[in-house]
């Protein structure tokens, strides 16, 4: 099953989560990382910090009040999306081992510290490595009966669903990445 199939069926559908194996999750993780790397392939350092026009910007979880309506840079989106996927991978590994869901497990590299395209690429590769390693923590017979409700009125998910939640979140930022790159590329000086 590839990302397009998972998108079409729905990341958190029982049909998807019930059929995927650890090898499928590895393949989907690699496909997502490869997709991000392909998107940023032609980017330059200036594109990482370019502030796009985004009149709909609204981050209720922003650290400061001035960041709530601030458009996200390419670096910001990549740091956020990879951190979210890693959090899901970490929680999924715990659930697969029989640990009851106990809350968030998140660290996000400060986006202000990433100012180069090489830094973005290294972050994507680091995230890939960490997520793939998390799958090696799953027992041979994962505790897929271990479930919890992802959010109020949301789906009840197991370890596979938790892992997929991170991929779904990352996938949800791909169009935002494309739009930032489009705007940053259009804003480059004509001589480039």
Q: Which residues have a Cβ under 8 Å from the Cβ of 59 and sit 6 or more positions away?
A: 67, 68, 69, 70, 72
Cα end-to-end distance, the chain, whole Å: 40
Would residue 192 count as lying in a domain?
Answer: no
pLDDT band at 192 (very low <50, low <70, confident <90, very high): low
- Number of structural domains the chain divides into: 1
In the predicted structure, residue 191 carries a pLDDT above the cut 70: no
The two tokens of residue 78 are 């990549």
pLDDT 10s digits, 41-100: 999 999 999 999 998 888 888 888 888 899 999 999 999 999 999 999 999 999 999 999
Q: From residue 117, give the alpha-carbon distance in Å to each of 25, 30, 50, 174, 192.
A: 27, 19, 12, 16, 17
Q: Which of 32-46, 52-66, 106-120 has the lowest mean pLDDT?
A: 52-66
The Cα 143–Cα 8 span in angstroms is 27
pTM metric for this prediction: 0.93
For residue 89, give the CATH number of its domain: 1.20.120.450
- Specify the pLDDT at position 57: 87
Would residue 71 count as lying in a domain?
Answer: yes
pLDDT 10s digits, 141-188: 999 999 999 989 888 999 999 999 999 999 999 999 999 999 999 999
Domain that holds residue 26: 3-186
The Cα 6–Cα 177 span in angstroms is 20
């Amino acid at each position: 099953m590839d990302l397009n199939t998972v998108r079409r069926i729905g990341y958190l559908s029982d049909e998807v989560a019930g059929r995927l194996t650890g090898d499928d999750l590895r393949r989907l993780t690699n496909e997502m990382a490869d997709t991000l790397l392909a998107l940023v392939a032609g980017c330059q350092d200036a594109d990482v910090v370019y502030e796009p026009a985004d009149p709909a910007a609204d981050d209720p979880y922003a650290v400061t009040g001035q960041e709530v309506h601030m458009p996200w840079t390419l670096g910001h989106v990549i740091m956020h999306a990879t951190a979210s996927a890693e959090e899901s991978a970490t929680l999924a590994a715990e659930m697969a081992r029989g640990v009851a869901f106990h809350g968030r497990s998140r660290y996000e590299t400060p986006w202000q510290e990433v100012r180069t395209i090489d830094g973005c690429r290294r972050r994507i590769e680091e995230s890939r490595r960490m997520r793939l390693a998390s799958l090696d923590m799953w027992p041979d017979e994962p505790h897929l009966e271990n479930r919890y409700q992802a959010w109020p009125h949301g789906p009840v998910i197991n370890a596979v669903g938790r892992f997929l939640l991170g991929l779904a979140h990352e996938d949800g930022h791909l169009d935002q990445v494309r739009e930032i790159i489009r705007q940053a590329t259009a804003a480059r000086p004509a001589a480039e």
